[in-house]
Amino acid sequence: MLAQVEGQVQLLSRNSDSTREGLMPPELLRASEATRRLDLPTKELLRLIQQRKLRYEMVDGIAHVPVDAHEEYRAKAS
């Protein structure tokens, strides 16, 4: 199931509008660090990314969560 969700995240990334040209790139967190900071299971983090409730950027085919997106999600959740 987790591999299926990760595959869907990769497919969604092709249509992602998260690319920012000309701006300094934000600090990007790998899924393991983002889940630790959000206190979520990895599966739930991937579900949030898939549902576009959590902004992400693709780096070499791997979804990374910008620190500011992490902060936005936290603000919405509280």
Q: Quick one: pLDDT at residue 3?
A: 58
| pLDDT above 90: residue 15 | no
CA dist 55 and 49 (Å) reads 7
At residue 76 the predicted structure's pLDDT band, cuts being 50, 70 and 90, is confident
CB 10 within 8 A of CB 31: no
pTM: 0.62
pLDDT in tens, 57-75: 999 998 899 999 988 888 8
Over 50: is that where the pLDDT of 19 sits?
A: no
Model confidence at 5: pLDDT above 60: no
